[in-house]
A and B are shown apart, each in its own frame.
Chain A
């Protein structure tokens, strides 16, 4: 197949699916089939991309044959491909899970078109090589997430939705201001071109301002301390498949953007951003885990844990060593799978007992031992118990901190794992072990719906176990992605010279490339 087609496939698939599902609004059955099929195709194409990039090659394509930096670049390196593959896994898990209880209501409100619009924004953010384009994909993603969040239009969702919408609007506006400043300083928006320019910018103060504005914006997306408040105020109101895909992907897009932009544009400035990120990582971990310890609603506990885990992912940018970044990437992969799975399990608990509130739950170990085991795998993995996936993520992150004598960071990571274990045990004790306090009010389900609920949970738990027991390939590819992220020159060369390969299509491209070579400051 044409490589350029496969490069844009992760954009085309969700776009076409969203459009098709919107056209078939009155045919929910057909929508479901298309949605699930598209999710499988998305995973298939992203696995192809992952195989193509795993040798260290960076795939770059210029939209409309406008050579970089004038056109919009689509760039897929190993890190992007990993994120795309994990997005494909999540798309399958959530579309299948959405066939479970409550589907009629969700489908009627347009769950499938909006889900794929969200996936479009997420994939776009992972693939773009242009910072303004990244802003556009962010907006695609959040407008779809607004719709998904208030899907059922309950009072709680509208209230939570307002908080979510208002804070995210401000966050992305900061992004746009930062984009403006960067353009004013360098005259370019292409990430590779920006990476080439930023070390030579004379107005360091303005550049740092743009960096901090980007940090506020990406931080708000990733729920980093102190701009995380929208997350626990809104996530628990969403319906379960929506909460699972939000928990898995939305905050991670913010983390991805942080890793991408700060390794490319601000890596020469670690004296300022390094300690700042270390501080943010520790505060995010601690505040998130304390919030989780205080709550007694499963959804709120899990929401606060998203925040806490984001802290671990920031260790990579705080230290900027290959091992630390590899640890962050491994952690992101592990976290996406485990956290989405915990939300799916919470949904299954709700279907069984009619509540998310721990005080009303109980006795599930007796009535549903399988659910208990399926809860324990991601829960213990989240806390970092060996031999599950979380252990290796934490191991890499903590070892990287110890290697550069960042004892504070390592200590905080260890203490926070202990507190994570505490709140997982709390859910376990309350929901599974203690006697049933009130008669449960289970939702009636058919056999097919139960299969749709449990299949993704089992598969995700199996992936967690696989990463835990067979870590080698995952660790190796994370390390390769980390080395690639730190190799700025490789990225710049791959993007800015990819236009030459297609010189036949666009007569001016080589001339433009020569122009860029001659005039590095523009």
Chain B
């Protein structure tokens, strides 16, 4: 089970990284989502997975049973999912705004912030730029 999950995580990471290397912002976002999903799965895996009972304390006992599942990774994953959701939502909106503004999602075509400022003014620039 652990090996299977490890391989699955590896595959998801590979797909995520492949998509993230794309120039298209939408594909990059999908890549990021897969990458963060794989991370969440990794958190589940490091809590050890095996044939165990739910992390509930039965009435007479005061502590968890020896065989109970580790509930901490689940809490971590829950936090990570919420954070990942917020980040993804923000990035989607940003990509949408960028698309409306520039009519493209191609990262190579998005270069307004990359203008190079030459050391001296050319004659026709004297009145126009700031």
User: For residue B110, which residues in chain A have a CB less than 8 angstroms away from its CB?
Assistant: 159, 162
Q: For the complex, what is the distance from the CA of A158 to the CA of B104, rounded to whole Å?
A: 13
Give the distance to chain A from B46, nearest Cβ to Cβ, in Å.
Answer: 3
In the complex, the answer to whether A136 meets B83 with C-beta atoms within 8 Å is yes
Among A157, A170, A181, point to the contact of B32 (Cβ < 8 A). Answer: A170
In the complex, the answer to whether A146 meets B121 with C-beta atoms within 8 Å is no
Given contacts A136-B79, A162-B110, A438-B127, whether A296 and B119 have CB atoms under 8 Å apart is yes
Say whether chain B's binding surface is mostly helix, strand, loop, or mixed.
helix
> Which of A155, A233, A295 has the most chain B CB atoms inside 10 A of its CB?
A155
Size band of the interface chain B makes with A: 35 or more
In the complex, the answer to whether B130 meets A169 with C-beta atoms within 8 Å is no
Give the distance to chain B from A181, nearest Cβ to Cβ, in Å.
Answer: 7
User: For residue A162, which residues in chain B have a CB less than 8 angstroms away from its CB?
Assistant: 25, 94-95, 98, 107, 110
Among B25, B86, B121, point to the contact of A437 (Cβ < 8 A). Answer: B121
- Provide the A144-159 mask, 1 if CB < 8 A to any CB of B, else 0: 0011001001011111
A360 at the interface (CB under 8 A from B): yes
In the complex, the answer to whether B90 meets A143 with C-beta atoms within 8 Å is yes
Q: For the complex, what is the distance from the CA of A296 to the CA of B120, rounded to whole Å?
A: 9
A132 at the interface (CB under 8 A from B): yes
Give the distance to chain A from B57, nearest Cβ to Cβ, in Å.
Answer: 13
A161 at the interface (CB under 8 A from B): yes
Interface residues of B in 65-104 (CB under 8 A from A): 72-73, 76, 79-80, 83, 86-87, 90-91, 94-95, 97-98, 101-102
Interface residues of B in 51-71 (CB under 8 A from A): none
User: For residue A297, which residues in chain B have a CB less than 8 angstroms away from its CB?
Assistant: 117
Give the distance to chain A from B116, nearest Cβ to Cβ, in Å.
Answer: 8
Q: For the complex, what is the distance from the CA of A234 to the CA of B114, rounded to whole Å?
A: 9
30 A-B residue pairings within 8 Å (CB atoms)? A132-B76, A158-B94, A158-B101, A159-B98, A159-B114, A161-B94, A162-B98, A165-B94, A166-B28, A166-B91, A169-B87, A169-B91, A173-B32, A173-B35, A180-B39, A180-B46, A180-B76, A183-B43, A183-B46, A183-B72, A234-B113, A295-B117, A296-B118, A296-B119, A355-B129, A355-B130, A359-B119, A359-B121, A438-B121, A441-B130
The 10 A-B pairs of least Cβ separation, nearest first, read A184-B46, A160-B113, A159-B113, A297-B117, A296-B117, A159-B112, A359-B121, A180-B43, A156-B113, A180-B46
- Which residues of B approach A to under 8 Å, CB–CB? 20, 25, 28, 32, 35-36, 39, 42-43, 45-48, 72-73, 76, 79-80, 83, 86-87, 90-91, 94-95, 97-98, 101-102, 107, 110-114, 117-121, 126-127, 129-130
Instruction: Apart from A161-B94, A173-B35, A173-B36, list 12 A-B contacts with CB within 8 A.
Output: A136-B79, A146-B94, A155-B102, A159-B102, A169-B91, A170-B32, A176-B36, A183-B47, A357-B117, A357-B130, A359-B118, A437-B126
